[in-house]
Amino acid sequence: MLQLLFENLQAEQRLVVLNIGAALPETIRFFANYRCKLYVTDLLAELPLSADSPSDESESQSKLENEIADILSIPDGVIFDIVFFWESLNYLGKDKISALMQVLKPHLHDNSKGHCFAAHNPETAEAQIIYGIQDAGHLSVRPRSRVSPNYQPLSQRRLLSLLEYFTLDRSVLLRDQRLELLFTVTGLQKSDQ
C-alpha cells in the first residue's frame, strides 16, 4: 500500500512528512529524493511517558498532550502532508492516542495522509519490528533491538474511533495478523468552525 501514498507525487513537489519512528538511513535517503521537510521522532523510545499516572483524568490528558507535544517538538505553523505512525499506535493505548491526535490536529490539513501498522485484534502478538522505506513500493523491515513493555494493541474498531480526523482509505490484513492501514484526514476544517 505504500505506493498509494507516493503514486501522484512528483520529485519536485514540496512535501512535509512526520515519521513517528526510528530514523532509519534508508528512509532518510528515500525522502532526500523529494523536496521534503522530514520530521523524525521515535516516540517509542520515549515510553513510558511520565504523565501516565496522574490522579485527575482531565489533568492526566492535559499532561499527556503536553508531554507528547514536547517529545514531537513540532514548530508552530508546520503542516504535514503525510504522517507515518508505523507501529507506534500499538504501544500508546487509548489515552495517549487521543492526546497524540490533539497534538497533531493543528499540524494537519484536509487530505493529509496517514500510514500505520496495527494489530488485527488485541490478542495479536508483538512483532518486534522496525519499519522504514526502501523505495516508493517497498518497505524495509528489521528486528527491534529492545523489547518495549508498553505493547497494548487495540481492536481495529477501537483504534479507528480514536483517530478522530483520519478516515480509513485502505486496510490490508498481513500474514502475521497485522493490519497495514492507510488514512486521509477529512472534515478537519469543519471541526475548527
Mean per-residue pLDDT, 67-82: 97
Confidence of residue 24 (pLDDT cuts 50, 70, 90): very high
* Residue 116 CB neighbour total at 10 angstroms: 23
Q: What is the pLDDT of residue 128?
A: 86
Which residues, in sequence order, are CB contacts of 109 under 8 Å at separation 6+? 79, 81, 185, 188
Residue 140 backbone phi and psi in degrees, to 5: -105, 145
Exposure string over 4-21, b if 16+ CB within 10 A, otherwise e: ebbeeeeeeeebbbbbbb
CATH of domain 2-192: 3.40.50
User: Which of 7-21, 46-60, 171-185 has the highest mean predicted lDDT (pLDDT)?
Assistant: 171-185
| Domains of the chain, residue spans | 2-192
Confidence of residue 150 (pLDDT cuts 50, 70, 90): confident
- Cβ–Cβ < 8 Å for 112, 141: no
Amino acid at 165: Y
- Does residue 79 carry a pLDDT above 90? yes
Helix intervals (H) in 73-127: 93-104
Q: What is the 3-state secondary structure (H, E, C) of 54-77?
A: CCCHHHHHHHHHHHHHHHHCCCCC
Confidence of residue 179 (pLDDT cuts 50, 70, 90): very high
Instruction: Give the sign of the dihedral formed by CA 43, CA 44, CA 45, CA 46.
Output: positive
Q: What is the pLDDT of residue 60?
A: 86
Confidence of residue 116 (pLDDT cuts 50, 70, 90): very high
- Does residue 51 carry a pLDDT above 70? no
